[in-house]
A and B are shown apart, each in its own frame.
Chain A
């Protein structure tokens, strides 16, 4: 039997849309794993809200990807029928939930980036992306507020929570460099006014984080090197397991409608 994966030509624009879509889907997937297992029922609901926002963003973006691709693929083809190396998400979002501190740190680092990103994307020459950014920015601003307030409480809570928060920050920091990596695709689309220049966001990102980390009494880690590879499809080992769950039914019953 032929493969159940889709094949498509990946233009720069399509690649960029898939980066944003895959980030949202994979992080939404991770957060949805919390549902039913959070520290208090209020937080089950809060994390599910963030996950729903993210999967919602992913759906809009995959829908646009399908439009850009133009051969009749759907959001689900992009979400479910690609091979691991075709996923364009950054390494940060695929990291396991760990304890609540790791989940919160991952969220703060990512949301602080995306909030800036969406805000700039609102003025994109690409009207569809600008419209999606307008909606996503409001959602992301709240994600940052929620996770930021939690990080302050964990960092400045008990000795135990402080240590967990600092450990999570130390461990996840190495995945933040990738957020600002401007390859030819990012650079090209930034130059043509379609997408923000990610390289230019790093300074603002540090400024966004600084007061949160200060209030949380956390130290910015000294990372001698950064990890990257997600944007070009070289992921961590975790992604295989995420996709095994995510794609299981679509791959087992490729002809089925759900």
Chain B
């Protein structure tokens, strides 16, 4: 057997139609179908959602916190990407 223990899955729930799936927790299951059922049983007991994604935790690639500066700092100075950077006279109204 390649694995000794039930693998870990990450669970994403869409809380209402129109919203994006959001990470809500993890669980252990042997395969995708059982992970989906466990996600339903564990994470939607109080009507929290109408759609579920489960992803093997091992399939997730995360950015390294040590790279935080080089990854995210450069965006902070590009204020011209935000609407408030531009002046439009009040008389023009909402734009």
In the complex, is A directly touching B at CB under 8 Å? Answer: yes
- Which residues of A approach B to under 8 Å, CB–CB? 40, 42, 45-46, 49, 145-146, 149, 153
Q: When the two chains form their complex, are residues A49 and B27 in contact, meaning their CB atoms are under 8 A apart? A: no
- Chain A's closest residue to B31 (CB) is A153
| Cα separation A46 to B28 with both chains bound (whole Å) | 13
Contact B42 A42 (CB under 8 A): yes
Q: Which of B13-68 contact A (CB under 8 A)?
A: 27-30, 33-34, 37-38, 41-42, 45
A149 touches B37 (CB 8 A): yes
| Known interface pairs A40-B6, A40-B28; A46-B33 also in contact (CB < 8 Å) | no
Contact A42 B27 (CB under 8 A): yes
Give Cα A145 to B41, complex, Å: 13
Contacts of A46 in B (CB 8 A): 37-38, 41
3 closest residue pairs by CB, A with B = A42-B38, A46-B41, A45-B41
Residues of A within 8 Å of B30, CB to CB, are 153
Q: In the complex, are the beta carbons of B28 and A42 less than 8 A apart?
A: yes
- Rounded to whole angstroms, the CA-CA distance of A42 and B8 in the bound complex is 12
The interface residues of chain B lying within 8 Å CB-to-CB of A49 are 41, 45
Measured between alpha carbons, how far is A45 from B37 in the docked complex, in Å? Answer: 11
Write out the residue numbers on chain A whose beta carbons fall within 8 Å of the beta carbon of B37.
46, 145-146, 149
Interchain residue pairs with CB less than 8 A apart (20): A40-B28, A42-B27, A42-B28, A42-B29, A42-B38, A42-B41, A42-B42, A45-B38, A45-B41, A45-B42, A45-B45, A46-B37, A46-B38, A46-B41, A49-B45, A145-B37, A146-B37, A149-B37, A153-B30, A153-B34
A40 CB contacts on chain B under 8 angstroms: 6, 28
CA distance A45 to B28 in the complex (A): 13
Q: Which of A42, A145, A146, A149 lies at the interface centre, i.e. has the most chain B CB atoms within 10 A of its CB?
A: A42
Q: Considering the chains assembled together, what is the distance between the CA atoms of A150 and B6 in angstroms?
A: 15
By a CB distance below 8 angstroms, the chain B residues around A149 are: 33-34, 37
Smallest CB–CB gap between B27 and chain A, Å?
Answer: 6
CA distance in complex: A3, B42 (Å): 43
Nearest residue, chain A, Cβ from B43: A45
The minimal Cβ–Cβ distance linking A150 to chain B, given in whole angstroms, is: 8
| Residues of chain B lying within 8 A (CB to CB) of residue A146 | 37
Q: Shortest beta-carbon distance, A229 to chain B, in Å? A: 34
Q: Which residues of A contact B41 (CB under 8 A)?
A: 42, 45-46, 49
**Docked CA distance A46–B29 (Å):** 12
For the complex, what is the distance from the CA of A109 to the CA of B37, rounded to whole Å?
20
Closest residue on chain A to residue B29 by CB atoms? A42
Given A40-B6, A49-B45, 9 more A-B residue pairs with CB atoms under 8 Å apart are A42-B27, A42-B29, A42-B41, A45-B45, A46-B41, A49-B41, A149-B37, A153-B30, A153-B34
CB distance from B64 to the nearest CB of A (A): 31
> Cα distance A161–B30 when bound, in Å?
15
Specify which chain A residues have a CB less than 8 angstroms from the CB of B45 in the assembled complex.
45, 49
